[in-house]
Structure 1
Amino acid sequence: MKGTIFAAGISLATLTPLTAQQKPNVVFIVTDDLGYGDLSCYGQEKFQTPNIDRLALDGIRFTHSYSGTTVSAPSRASLMTGLHTGHTPIRGNKEVKPEGQFPLPEGTVTLFHLFKKAGYATGAFGKWGLGQPGSEGDPNRQGVDEFYGYNCQLLAHNYYPDHLWHNQTKIVFPENENGQFGAYSQDLIQAKTLEFIDNHGKDPFFLFVPIVLPHAELVVPEDSIIRNLRGKFDEKPYKGTDSGPAFRKGGYMSQEYPRATHAAMVKRIDAYVGQIIGKLKEKGVYDNTLIIFTSDNGPHREGGADPDFFNSNGVYRGYKRDLYEGGIRVPTIISWHGKIASGKESNFTFAFWDYMPTFAELLKVGSPKDSDGISILPTLLDKGKQKKHDYFYFEFQELGGRQAVIQGDWKLLHLDIRNGGKYELYNLASDPSENHNLIDLYPRKATTLKEIMKKARTDDPNWPLF
């Protein structure tokens, strides 16, 4: 049984690093609130994402992959620790004043520790949200050599902030004072991302790129991307927060062109991906780099965002904060030129907590002892026998508390738990959009999944669900 304060389960003393010749670089790109249908290689028809499409053609496009859960912090905690949200030390978005979120506890072993022990340089550039500056969850105390970006995910709602963090140094932007639009945060973060590749082109590196886009506030710099999109969509202007205490402290600014701006934000992500790939090729390391591109949860509906207009969740019901498929099923592309088959589509089912054992196997450092995950390396390299999960578990702390269990084609949802609760049962094979609740027709199946749901989580006083 896992403890309530979890020191994630890899004994670092047992790790044996690879030789220098065996070490592939790893670039892990996680977008923020990008929906399953927001990319043209996943069916987006209103705009194109050519760089990401090319990455998919050079690797595997997964159609049945899950994030950690349906909001940022616990989803990323699941990724970092190899644990689903019944066991992660962070299971919700909990703010810590004056800046930051509930921290990963001291002693947690993250993906960064795994790579550090294997002799890698590690970097994280974007949004953190796993522990306030100077806390035990601070990125520099969780195995990150270099961090640049937002420590606090609340402040990451806004793209013209008064400061970002470079390791322990607070970088202040006077050009953004008094409502000015001087320094666009994600462009600054992208520059540091490319600089990290420049600085470590001869070293094995693990580069974590938690891109802030297309989350929350809808705003982009005035450049050719947005100019080419304005006027292409019928718009519903959004009236937001343009002054007062919430201005650039979590509130969303007004936006006359919200649909064009969302498209521009996704296309900006696409441009960033193209730049990262270009830099890897420039340094001569592209063929020795495993690239993962995914999202932390489904699309949001804040700040004027309109996922229905863009069909951002594809055929799937639900959005961010839902445990329906639209809130947790995410686009995932994994590429490693010459090692992973190109142009392949896979419906193999896996989730964020599977990356920890996958990287452990890749680095030949032993399997995590307490991970909820399985290695997906056999699927990626088409070698060996691929294990499969017996079930997948998700929980969400807000909106009365929510749980979901998926076993095979069956999915059970437990909703509004703290207010009495209700259950819904779906067959994802026959009803991927979760339109037909079968709870009354298949009571025995529901009972089986309820038992799995009950056993899947460990009680934690920091995250009471009932």
Structure 2
Amino acid sequence: MRKAGSAVFGFKFPKLGFIAGVLFLNALSVFSQQKPNVVIIYADDLGYGDLSCYGSKIIKTPNIDAVAKSGIRFTNAHSTSPTCTPSRFALMTGIYPWRQTGTGILPGDAKLIIPANHITLPKVFKKAGYYTALVGKWHLGLGDSVNKNWNGEIKPGPNEVGFDYSFIFPATADRVPTVFLENHYVIASDTNDRILVNYRKKVGNDPTGKENPELLKVKADPNQGHNNTIVNGIGRIGFMSGGYKARWVDEELTYTFVDKAGEVIKSHKKQPFLLCYNAIEPHVPRMPATQFKGKSGLGYRGDAILQLDWAVGQIVKYLRENKLEQNTLIIISSDNGPVLNDGYLDGASESYHGEQLGGLRGGKYSLLEGGTRLPFIVSWPGKLKSGVSDAMFSQVDLLASFAAMFDQAVPRNEAVDSENHLDALLGRNKSGRALLIEGNTKDKLAIVKGDWKYIPPGNGPALDKLVNIETGNSRDPQLFNLKTDPAERNNLARKYPEKVRELDQLLQAKLR
């Protein structure tokens, strides 16, 4: 076992007599109620420049801004990867996703990719006596095979990797099956109306976006595959039939998830809890509730960000109403950078002109900073000094950092990439990580050491034309000084060949 770090909640005492032991246990009982509740709000495809507290001039996010004002706003925090499944895998396991095969963007029928017998972020909290709950998007697979009985018990899943309670949808809102799962079962499933899911061929007789485009209420980009089974007037990736009572309505998704989050908060206010609220915004298909449609002036993407801000406000309201706000640590971040046209022609490309990146290059799918540098806000009223931190922090470090908070040892050879940066997370110092690797797969990685970032030469286009995003690909080595050039405009590889060799050797050593 390896120690995660120095304790915040751990004690070491000499042997106690009987009376002293009783007094200690009573004190420990009171102390356990003082452990902070932790709420992690994980947005989907939210960019570094998408919030007004990060400088956006085109949209206001007052509820998120209020959380940032009371806490720490990080300027150099990262997901491990520029796409969702790999980033979520790393956050949960403390492992870079490129170390394990099968961690790419998953279809909706994928099997669970998290080893159920290894340490995970929620297991750290469970060991510390927390109730653990997950509400929202999952996208890390379910069951032990692709073939599943969607009308029966579906496991392993979130409950087997550390959550006492889960209310999720399986993958993303643009993928089938478009159903809710509560713990191991699809809500409102009916054995007389079997749910069938297939990502290779059509099942059932439901119309598809390709065959019946006149039925769509938002047009699909014909080149990106969002033209299979139509649910709620939206073409999805993959084919589905049955489960008509179980299918969700996109406009009601966030209301449903926020209500479930509120139930968790209200029913567990006497026990410390971890609540992971995995938001759906602003991932496609953007179909916000009527309350938000047209309110941003930026199309459905901007409206979805307003909806996200409302959801954050509601969660804070639930905490306040249950007198938990002062003893709750809130983290707000995103799984990867932004994208405008990601399968649906919903007006985002016409409404935004780079503002979503906050001055960075790249975005979702990219090795440039816009792919992984994200909003990251930490608030714990009365416990953290508010301000701004430029410490380099990665979401992969949450596991080891919280393990350190609870004085837990991390099992040897597990969570191998998670580092204890609790002091940076809580604003006690601004040193953070010294080294960070970004990317999805071994052949597409970047490495950051201090102010320097190196992207090895590689094949592939410099621009992903499907989504109009710079990928970071180049046949030449790329070296950037992120302190002076966070937008990565000035390639310094020829000027500093020794730095290129140093970082390339470091990266190759990590890959061995």
TM-score class, shorter-chain normalisation, is 0.7 to 0.9
Q: Which residue of 1 aligns with 2:295?
A: 228
Selected match of 1:297 from 336, 346, 362: 336
Which deviations, in whole Å up to 9, do the C-alpha atoms of 1:60-100 show, x marking residues without a partner?
Answer: 011111112111111111111122344356642243xx613
- 2-structure distance, mates of 1:166, 1:134: 18
Does 2:126 align with 1:116? yes
For residue 312 of structure 1, give the secondary structure of its aligned residue in structure 2: helix
Q: Which residue of 2 aligns with 1:214?
A: 282
- 2-structure distance, mates of 1:391, 1:162: 39
- Report the CA distance between 1:415 and its aligned residue: 5.0
Does 2:452 align with 1:410? yes
Q: Which residue of 1 aligns with 2:265?
A: 197
Does 2:306 align with 1:267? yes
Asked if the contact 2:232–2:249 (Cα under 8 Å) also holds between the matched residues in 1, the reply is: no
CA gap 1:178/1:89 in 2 versus in 1, 3 angstroms: closer
CA gap 1:90/1:333 in 2 versus in 1, 3 angstroms: farther
- 1-structure distance, mates of 2:508, 2:332: 32
Aligned length: 410
- Report the CA distance between 1:29 and its aligned residue: 0.7
Asked if the contact 2:62–2:309 (Cα under 8 Å) also holds between the matched residues in 1, the reply is: yes
- Report the CA distance between 1:359 and its aligned residue: 0.6
Q: Which residue of 1 aligns with 2:422?
A: 377
Greater shift after overlay, 199-208 or 297-306? 297-306
For residue 309 of structure 1, give the secondary structure of its aligned residue in structure 2: coil
Question: Which runs of structure 2 are paired with 1:130-279 in the superposition (5 Å)?
Answer: 130-133=140-143, 138-153=157-172, 156-157=173-174, 162-172=178-188, 179=233, 182=249, 184-223=252-291, 225-229=292-296, 232=297, 259-279=298-318
Question: Which runs of structure 2 are paired with 1:440-455 in the superposition (5 Å)?
Answer: 440-455=494-509
Asked if the contact 2:94–2:417 (Cα under 8 Å) also holds between the matched residues in 1, the reply is: yes
- Report the CA distance between 1:226 and its aligned residue: 1.7
Q: Which residue of 1 aligns with 2:434?
A: 390
Q: Which runs of 5+ in 2 are unaligned?
A: 12-27, 146-154, 191-229, 235-247, 462-473
Does 2:390 align with 1:347? yes
- 1-structure distance, mates of 2:121, 2:3: 10
Does 2:405 align with 1:362? yes
Q: Which residue of 2 aligns with 1:87?
A: 99
Q: Which residue of 2 aligns with 1:252?
A: none
CA gap 1:386/1:411 in 2 versus in 1, 3 angstroms: closer
* Amino acid corresponding to residue 428 of structure 1 in structure 2: L
Q: Which residue of 2 aligns with 1:326?
A: 370
- Report the CA distance between 1:137 and its aligned residue: 5.6
- 2-structure distance, mates of 1:122, 1:186: 20
* Amino acid corresponding to residue 157 of structure 1 in structure 2: D
For residue 353 of structure 2, give the secondary structure of its aligned residue in structure 1: helix
CA gap 1:275/1:199 in 2 versus in 1, 3 angstroms: same
Greater shift after overlay, 406-415 or 275-284? 406-415
- 2-structure distance, mates of 1:346, 1:267: 25
- 1-structure distance, mates of 2:475, 2:111: 28
* Amino acid corresponding to residue 359 of structure 2 in structure 1: V
CA gap 1:438/1:318 in 2 versus in 1, 3 angstroms: same
TM-score normalised by L of structure 2: 0.73
Does 2:115 align with 1:105? yes
For residue 87 of structure 2, give the secondary structure of its aligned residue in structure 1: helix
Greater shift after overlay, 183-192 or 415-424? 415-424
Greater shift after overlay, 101-110 or 427-436? 101-110
Which deviations, in whole Å up to 9, do the C-alpha atoms of 1:4-24 show, x marking residues without a partner?
Answer: xxxx9889xxx9797513421
- 1-structure distance, mates of 2:158, 2:2: 19
- 2-structure distance, mates of 1:117, 1:287: 23
Which deviations, in whole Å up to 9, do the C-alpha atoms of 1:14-57 show, x marking residues without a partner?
Answer: x9797513421100011000000000000111120000001011
Regions of 4+ moved over 6 Å: 8-11, 15-18
- 1-structure distance, mates of 2:485, 2:431: 25
Does 2:326 align with 1:287? yes
- Report the CA distance between 1:357 and its aligned residue: 1.5
Q: Which runs of 5+ in 1 are unaligned?
A: 1-7, 233-258, 459-466
For residue 455 of structure 1, give the secondary structure of its aligned residue in structure 2: helix
- Report the CA distance between 1:286 and its aligned residue: 0.9
- 1-structure distance, mates of 2:287, 2:58: 19
Which deviations, in whole Å up to 9, do the C-alpha atoms of 1:128-165 show, x marking residues without a partner?
Answer: 11122466761111011111121223xx226x974111
Query: Identity of aligned pairs, percent?
Result: 34
CA gap 1:406/1:213 in 2 versus in 1, 3 angstroms: same
- 2-structure distance, mates of 1:411, 1:122: 37
CA gap 1:388/1:45 in 2 versus in 1, 3 angstroms: closer
Which deviations, in whole Å up to 9, do the C-alpha atoms of 1:230-283 show, x marking residues without a partner?
Answer: xx4xxxxxxxxxxxxxxxxxxxxxxxxxx3211110011100000000100111
- 1-structure distance, mates of 2:2, 2:282: 33
- Report the CA distance between 1:429 and its aligned residue: 1.8
Which deviations, in whole Å up to 9, do the C-alpha atoms of 1:309-360 show, x marking residues without a partner?
Answer: 2511111100101010000100011000000112x01111111111112111
Who wins on radius of gyration, i.e. which is larger? 2
CA gap 1:75/1:440 in 2 versus in 1, 3 angstroms: same
CA gap 1:325/1:381 in 2 versus in 1, 3 angstroms: closer
- 2-structure distance, mates of 1:395, 1:380: 22
Question: Which runs of structure 2 are paired with 1:423-438 in the superposition (5 Å)?
Answer: 423-438=477-492
- Report the CA distance between 1:107 and its aligned residue: 1.6
Q: Which residue of 1 aligns with 2:215?
A: none
- 2-structure distance, mates of 1:178, 1:54: 35
Asked if the contact 1:162–1:172 (Cα under 8 Å) also holds between the matched residues in 2, the reply is: no
- Report the CA distance between 1:372 and its aligned residue: 2.1
For residue 192 of structure 1, give the secondary structure of its aligned residue in structure 2: helix
For residue 60 of structure 2, give the secondary structure of its aligned residue in structure 1: coil
